[in-house]
Amino acid sequence: MDMEQAITSLATTRPTFYRWLRAGRITGVKIGRQWRFRRDDIERVLRGESPRIDLPSDIKPLIATLQKRLDGHASPPTGDLVLKASELAIRLAIALKATDLHLLPLPGTGSLQLRVDGVLVEIARFDPKLLGLLADRFKSFAAMDLTIRDRAQDGRVTLTIDQQRMTLMITALPCVHGECVVARLHDLSMALPTLEAMALSSRDHGLLKRSLACGSGLLVFTGPTGSGKTTTMYACAAASATPAQRLVSIERFMPFDLPQAVHVHVDAANGMGYAACLRAVVRVDPDIIVVDELRDREALEAATECSLTGHLVLTAQHAPDAIGALRHLAVLGHGNDAVLDELTLVWAQRFVRRLCAQCAVSAPLAVAAVRRVETLLGKGATAKSKTRRAPGCPACRTTGFQGRMMIGEVLEVTRELRAALRQSATDQELRRIATSQGFTGMACDGVRKALAGLTTLDEVWRFAPLPEQPA
| Contact between residue 329 and residue 307 where contact means Cβ atoms under 8 Å apart | no
Query: Is residue 358 assigned to a domain?
Result: yes
* pLDDT over 60 at 468, yes or no: no
Which range has the worst mean pLDDT, 165-179, 250-264, 341-355, 438-452?
Answer: 250-264
Query: Is residue 269 assigned to a domain?
Result: yes
- Quick one: 331 and 448 in the same domain? yes
175 or 256: whose pLDDT is higher? 175
pLDDT mean over 237-260: 86
The per-residue pLDDT for range 444-460, each reduced to its tens digit, is: 999 999 999 999 999 99
- Quick one: 25 and 64 in the same domain? no
pLDDT mean over 129-133: 91
* pLDDT over 60 at 469, yes or no: no
Query: Is residue 175 assigned to a domain?
Result: yes
Query: Is residue 8 assigned to a domain?
Result: yes
Which of 129, 160, 187 lies at the terminal end of a domain, its last residue? 187
- Quick one: 246 and 131 in the same domain? no
pLDDT mean over 136-165: 87
The per-residue pLDDT for range 170-220, each reduced to its tens digit, is: 999 999 988 999 999 988 888 888 888 887 888 888 999 999 888 889 999
For 17-36, letters b (16+ CB in 10 Å) and e give bbebbbebebbbeeeeeebe
Query: Is residue 410 assigned to a domain?
Result: yes
Which of 155, 187, 219 lies at the terminal end of a domain, its last residue? 187
State the pLDDT at residue 471.
Answer: 41
- Quick one: 339 and 229 in the same domain? yes
Which of 152, 187, 222 lies at the terminal end of a domain, its last residue? 187
- Quick one: 31 and 127 in the same domain? no
- Quick one: 166 and 223 in the same domain? no
- Quick one: 79 and 143 in the same domain? yes
- Quick one: 19 and 37 in the same domain? yes
- For position 152, which CATH number holds? 3.30.450.90
- Quick one: 151 and 278 in the same domain? no
Mean pLDDT of the chain: 87
Query: Is residue 333 assigned to a domain?
Result: yes
pTM flag (> 0.85): no
- Quick one: 438 and 354 in the same domain? yes
The per-residue pLDDT for range 297-347, each reduced to its tens digit, is: 999 999 999 999 999 999 999 988 999 999 988 888 877 788 889 999 999
Query: Is residue 51 assigned to a domain?
Result: no
Cα 352 from Cα 315, distance rounded (Å)? 23
pLDDT mean over 115-144: 91
Tell me which residue range forms the domain holding 30. 3-46
pLDDT mean over 342-370: 91
Report the DSSP pairing between strands 288-291 and 247-251.
Answer: parallel
* pLDDT over 90 at 7, yes or no: no
- Quick one: 388 and 305 in the same domain? yes
Query: Is residue 468 assigned to a domain?
Result: no
| Structural domain total, the chain | 3
User: Which of 222, 269, 193 has the alpha carbon at shortest distance from 411?
Assistant: 222
| Contact between residue 141 and residue 159 where contact means Cβ atoms under 8 Å apart | yes
- For position 365, which CATH number holds? 3.40.50.300
| Contact between residue 116 and residue 110 where contact means Cβ atoms under 8 Å apart | no
- Quick one: 335 and 372 in the same domain? yes
pLDDT mean over 408-427: 91
